[in-house]
Structure 1
Amino acid sequence: MKNIMETVNGTPSLSVFAKSLAEAGLVDELNLPGPYTVFAPSDDAFASMPHGSMDMLLKNAPYLQRILHNHLVKEKYDSNHFVKLKAVKTMADSDLHFQAKPKVTINGAKVLKPNLVCSNGIIHIIDHVLMVSMGPTAAVNY
């Protein structure tokens, strides 16, 4: 079974996420045993961000790292947990809130493809980038 980074790198719709993880220096972290839950924005999610946002993120490694940590949880939660859980704390120390009906969303982002099981966790592909401020509270989604 592939680990999270191998799965991200092997999933064509996650190429921007893979590049972002590398730019932020998070590849080694996601090769560790975990377990992790990764809410991975699709390439379309990154493309829907306001013009110039991705360039700004790639030039600001600390902020990019914080944004990406907002997509990571240090526990393994498959889609069955979304019905039971109200929220989880991300590695960026912000809360992700789940809504299971009518469709599963995380802070308003729709889950496009759930439950990509990896040796060190699980990946759920989502349709928005979960943005946070440089402070401890969540800001907006793109």
Structure 2
Amino acid sequence: MKHKVVFAALLAAMGLSTSAFADNLLEVMDTDGGFKTMLAAIKKAGLEDQFKSAGPMTVFAPTDFAFQAMPKDKLDKLMNDKEALKKVLLLHVINAKVTKADVDAGKVKTMEGENVSLSVNEGIKIDNVPVVGQGINADNGVIHAMTAVLLPKS
């Protein structure tokens, strides 16, 4: 414990913060502030370790507005079904770091196991859901904000 305090004091003296060294996908989403529902869902599904892992991963993360756009009864049911929630969350993640510049049209397999369609004609879309913003980098991947929640086809 004493070493951690000394290290934090040294960082502060150099004008650095300890948070500069802690920017995995979960921490970046938390810092951003627009993914509170996504973070709550990740915790409810017990997937924190997966989102903190070495990666690289790409998370197509629905914004809080995307979750709020779902019918309340459907969102409540999803948030209270751990297995269904895991499937939905992993449908938004691929096992590679894909920046906007890297995106090619076609199919890509998600960590849930289902293929999703990427299109780039009028901005990037995942299964016809627009990706907004430029993407947010983390140590273990990248986060792209989405305007809707993807649901499994089956």
Q: Which is richer in helix?
A: 2
Read off the aligned partner of 1:123 and give its amino acid letter.
Answer: I
1:111 aligned onto 2:131: yes
> Is 2:105–2:120's contact at 8 Å kept on the other side of the alignment?
no
Q: Which is richer in strand?
A: 1
Aligned equivalents of 1:48 and 1:66: distance in 2?
Answer: 19
Q: 1:101 aligns with which of 121, 137, 151?
A: 121
Task: Name the structure 2 match of 1:46.
Answer: 67
Share of identical aligned residues, percent?
27
> Is 2:54–2:140's contact at 8 Å kept on the other side of the alignment?
yes
TM normalised by structure 2 equals: 0.82
Q: How do residues 4-19 of structure 1 correspond to structure 2 at under 5 angstroms?
A: 4-19=25-40
Between the two proteins, the alignment pairs up a number of residues equal to 133
SS state of the match for residue 88, structure 1? strand
RMSD of aligned alpha carbons: 1.2
Task: Name the structure 2 match of 1:87.
Answer: 107
SS state of the match for residue 97, structure 1? strand
1:125 aligned onto 2:145: yes
Q: 2:88 aligns with which of 67, 71, 77?
A: 67
SS state of the match for residue 97, structure 2? coil
> Is 1:114–1:123's contact at 8 Å kept on the other side of the alignment?
no
TM normalised by structure 1 equals: 0.89
Q: How far apart are residue 59 of structure 1 and its match?
A: 1.2
Structure 2 gaps of 5+ residues are 1-19
SS state of the match for residue 22, structure 1? helix
Q: How far apart are residue 114 of structure 1 and its match?
A: 3.0
Q: 2:51 aligns with which of 3, 15, 30?
A: 30
